[in-house]
Amino acid sequence: MLKKTILKPGRVRRINGGFSFIPHRFLSEGFLAALSQQELVLYFFLILVSDRNGVSYYRYDAICSLLKMTIGDYIEARDGLIEKDLLSFDGTVFQVLSLPVKVSEKAVPKEDAARVMQLITESLGEVSHAR
pLDDT by position in tens, the chain (length 131):
788 888 888 888 777 777 788 889 999 888 898 899 999 999 999 999 998 889 999 999 999 999 999 999 999 999 999 999 999 999 999 999 999 987 654 434 456 778 778 777 877 776 555 55
- Please list the residues that pair with 96 across neighbouring strands: 87
Specify the pTM: 0.74
Q: What is the pLDDT of residue 130?
A: 52
- Structural domains in the chain, CATH included, are 23-130 (1.10.10.10)
DSSP codes of every residue in 39-98? HHHHHHHHHHH--TTSEE---HHHHHHHHT--HHHHHHHHHHHHHTTSEEE-SS-EEEPP
